Structure 1
Amino acid sequence: MKDKNNINQILKTILISFVSGMLGGLLVIYVVGYRPNNTSINKYESPKLVYDQSKHAGLMTGAFNMVKDSVVSVINLQKTRKNNLFTDIFGSKNDKDTLQTYSEGSGVIYYKNLNYAYIATNNHVVADSDQLQVILSDGRKIAAQKVGTDPETDLAVLKVNSKYINQVAKFASSKNLVPGQPVIAVGSPLGSQYATSVTQGIISAKSRVVNVVNDQGQVTNEATVIQTDAAINPGNSGGPLVNEQGQVIGINSMKLSRSGDGTAIEGMGFAIPSDEVVNILNQLVKNGKIVRPKLGIRVLDVTDLTRKDKKRIQLPNNIQEGVAVFSVDSGSSAAKAGIKAKDVIVQIDNDKIDSVASLHSKLYKHKIGDKITIKVIRAGKYVTLKASLQ
């Protein structure tokens, strides 16, 4: 009986060991996973690419595709004198001017016929150029010519051979834009190496009035522009601002990066509205320039006058804004109207004139031959004059 009990105990021990071994093996398989062909658990396995099952691309992808081949890089080439040590010191008639890239911007092809294609861009992109080139979306570089420029609106028209042009952008009216409307900006930020870059944003404001500053830092005009938070960087100038239908609603022109007190700013770009763009482009193609009425006077903001200046022209102390006249061209509209040096213009028709920019803005809304009413302060008294714009 005792031997029988010992045998049972041994069999029981063997069974428990067998079951424990089986469970341990299953546990190892569970933890490390089954690996066929004795694959090492330390061997790297490359991830597999699966088919992109997205139902559609981004909402603005279609719009981008409708304009991308009409957007070009614009290269401003300027002459630089090729010197060496001897010509620097003595000079030489044999010195040769060489063309170098001065700046790069963007443009958009908006019209094509059998011979030429026309490109809209900014005036500041092509200003002072000796030659111009454009780089098409396929990388082809071709020569371009100026058709006309307008510094006041910062617009210009170029023409190129239409042989290689395959896509032309369409304009849509900017009149019915609404804040919050999605848009994309297309162009060459930082130059042609980033050609046909696209950024997305919204219309922040459909009609924002900003000062236009010339190369001397003087405010020459006020411009009504579209404000957007789509990223606009140096090189984007002249490129299109595009709506969801792939239509051009503005020409990107400038951005604010810092406020007057030096505060850094993000997401404040501006574009010239398409309604104005089309009007200016048509005039430039027809005449090569924009003819605007002028009074024929030299002026200065009242805010820039010294206390001594104000006393000399007998300007009342309560007049803090306006435009002071310091010379009048002989035979001009102003001369014929009776405007004199030392007059201060404070009103045209029923609109207040508080700066040179507002004076220009008011005049540019008129056509040559229009008659206007001008209110000036002369020797401390108000005088009303009539002028016919030339």
Structure 2
Amino acid sequence: MNRIKQAFKDRLWLGVIIVGLFAGLIGGGIALGINNLVQHHEEVTSTRVPAGSNKSGGTKVNKNKADLNGEASQAYKSVQGAVVSVINKQKVQQSSGTLGIFGYGSSNGSNNDSSSDNKLETASEGSGVIYKKSGNSAYVVTNNHVVKGSNALQVILSNGKKVNADLVGADSATDLAVLKINAANVKTVASFGNSNSIVPGQDVLAIGSPMGSEYANTVTKGIISAKDRTLKAGTDGTLTSVIQTDAAINSGNSGGPLINMAGQVIGINSMKLASDTQGSSVEGIGFAIPSNEVVTIINQLIKNGKITRPSLGISMVDLSNVTSDQQQSVLKLPTSVSKGVVIMDVNSGSVADTAGLKKYDVITKLGDTQVTDAGSLKAALYKYKVGQSAKVTYYRDGQQHTATLHLTKSADTTSTDDSQQDNN
């Protein structure tokens, strides 16, 4: 009897459980269905375009909460008036006459009436910065490649006024040039800061006319990426120390200033250095000539109109261009010597001739600087002034020698040679 009662109870509870589960499933389904209906309604309601008036859809301009007199803005304002665009004008041949089947000619088929005129047209545009005002004259520093080949020069001031400019002097080795303009409309003059005191990571601004005077006084911001990069500058490949920055420097920025947050010029931007070095357009790598070098060069250009540097009076080739067999058989160099320059010719009466240097001598050191190629030799030589002396280390017939160079001869480095065999 007890077993029957217990079995009945078990079946009863089993039925209750089954009914509960069934009710739960039905209830859950109903709840899920209701929830889906609610969610669908909300989606339709939230995405449907509301009806009614559009008058409440207006807005307003709020007060600008940004700092309009930040450090960068103040630095830009302090020097912006001194930044100019430089226009390089060159002669363009123009022929007059009727355009016939075979070119220009007179309408009667004779060439006797044809003529040509030289008209000045804009060949290129760059940037510059006014750094000095003296009496009625003001002086602008820019890049040599900006003014190279010009038949006339013009400067567009920050206020848009266009004035004529004279070339005071230029130096291809450092890619710098100085122009003189009338100071009547010059209100702002930039000052130079000490480029030896800059540090990587320091904020800087580049100002100029990227892509031409249409975008004059464009400012870009960046940092000093490196303060002492060594690049080949000028047409003779002379090594020079430059500032690297990630501030955007484009074609037309050449000659414009790189300034610190105090508004001081710490470098002169040069797009040519970037393009010659990289061989292609790159992002975030620009170069500027350090202000300390700039001041040294422009002061000499103002004084003499050119830069006079010591000359050895030799022609030379890099040792790396000489085959290993020739290094052994002709130059008789020890295997430990792999870098330097080979003297190919010595001018009679030159500094090198007076010091006893001869053809096929291999120069490996000048002063305390190791000579690896022609560029490094020139860079080391250009640290000296005419009238000073320097010690040179060289190899002849496998033996190391030293001599004293009395740098009494000079060379005008405003014109250079692009040939494989360098002259100095």
TM-score (norm 1): 0.83
The equivalent position to 2:174 in structure 1, one of 147, 153, 159, is: 153
Write out aligned runs for 1:39-78 (5 A).
40-43=52-55, 45-78=57-90
Return the offset for 1:256. 3.4
Return the offset for 1:304. 1.5
Counterparts in 2 of 1:87 and 1:201: CA distance versus 1, 3 Å: farther
How far apart are the structure 1 equivalents of 2:231 and 2:277?
Answer: 13
What letter matches 2:286 in structure 1? G
Paired residue secondary structure (1:375): strand
Return the offset for 1:54. 3.2
Counterparts in 2 of 1:92 and 1:294: CA distance versus 1, 3 Å: farther
- The superposition leaves residues 2-27 of structure 1 with CA deviations (integer Å, 9 ceiling, x where unpaired) of xxxxxxxxxxxxxxxxxxxxxxxxxx
Return the offset for 1:118. 0.2
Q: Is 2:229 the partner of 1:208?
A: yes
Partner of 1:192: 213
Partner of 1:323: 341
Paired residue secondary structure (1:41): coil
Return the offset for 1:123. 0.7
- The superposition leaves residues 12-51 of structure 1 with CA deviations (integer Å, 9 ceiling, x where unpaired) of xxxxxxxxxxxxxxxxxxx9xxxxxxx9424574421223
Return the offset for 1:180. 1.0
- The superposition leaves residues 207-239 of structure 1 with CA deviations (integer Å, 9 ceiling, x where unpaired) of 22112252xxxx521111111111111111100
Return the offset for 1:331. 1.0
Write out aligned runs for 1:122-133 (5 A).
122-133=143-154
- The superposition leaves residues 142-177 of structure 1 with CA deviations (integer Å, 9 ceiling, x where unpaired) of 110001111111111000011111111111111211
The equivalent position to 2:366 in structure 1, one of 337, 348, 361, is: 348
CA contact (8 A) 1:106 1:236 kept: yes
Write out aligned runs for 1:1-390 (5 A).
40-43=52-55, 45-83=57-95, 85-86=103-104, 94-214=115-235, 220-254=237-271, 256=274, 265-307=282-324, 309-310=326-327, 311-390=329-408
How far apart are the structure 2 equivalents of 1:293 and 1:379?
Answer: 27
CA contact (8 A) 1:259 1:265 kept: no
What letter matches 2:293 in structure 1? E
How far apart are the structure 2 equivalents of 1:145 and 1:309?
Answer: 50
Return the offset for 1:329. 1.2
Paired residue secondary structure (2:71): coil
- Segments of 5+ residues of structure 1 without an aligned counterpart are 1-30, 32-38
How far apart are the structure 2 equivalents of 1:132 and 1:299?
Answer: 36
Cα RMSD after superposing both structures: 2.4
How far apart are the structure 2 equivalents of 1:291 and 1:87?
Answer: 49
Paired residue secondary structure (2:76): helix
Return the offset for 1:108. 0.1
Counterparts in 2 of 1:264 and 1:234: CA distance versus 1, 3 Å: closer
CA contact (8 A) 1:257 1:266 kept: no
Return the offset for 1:259. 7.4
Return the offset for 1:73. 0.4
- The superposition leaves residues 164-215 of structure 1 with CA deviations (integer Å, 9 ceiling, x where unpaired) of 111111111112111111110000011101100000011111222112252x
Aligned residues: 348
Paired residue secondary structure (2:348): coil
CA contact (8 A) 2:205 2:220 kept: yes
CA contact (8 A) 2:174 2:234 kept: no
Paired residue secondary structure (2:270): strand
Counterparts in 2 of 1:66 and 1:317: CA distance versus 1, 3 Å: same
How far apart are the structure 2 equivalents of 1:44 and 1:101?
Answer: 55
How far apart are the structure 2 equivalents of 1:263 and 1:74?
Answer: 25
How far apart are the structure 1 equivalents of 2:360 and 2:111?
Answer: 50
Paired residue secondary structure (2:62): coil
Q: Give the greater-gyration-radius structure (CA).
A: 2
- The superposition leaves residues 246-284 of structure 1 with CA deviations (integer Å, 9 ceiling, x where unpaired) of 111111113536976x78632111111111111111111
Return the offset for 1:383. 2.3
Paired residue secondary structure (2:184): helix
Paired residue secondary structure (2:254): coil
How far apart are the structure 2 equivalents of 1:83 and 1:375?
Answer: 58
Paired residue secondary structure (2:360): coil
What letter matches 1:195 in structure 2? A
Return the offset for 1:113. 2.1
- Segments of 5+ residues of structure 2 without an aligned counterpart are 1-45, 97-102, 409-424
CA contact (8 A) 1:179 1:205 kept: yes
Return the offset for 1:102. 1.0
- The superposition leaves residues 323-371 of structure 1 with CA deviations (integer Å, 9 ceiling, x where unpaired) of 0111111111001111111111111233211110110011111111211
Return the offset for 1:134. 0.8
Percent of pairs with identical residues? 47
How far apart are the structure 1 equivalents of 2:280 and 2:182?
Answer: 45
Paired residue secondary structure (1:175): helix
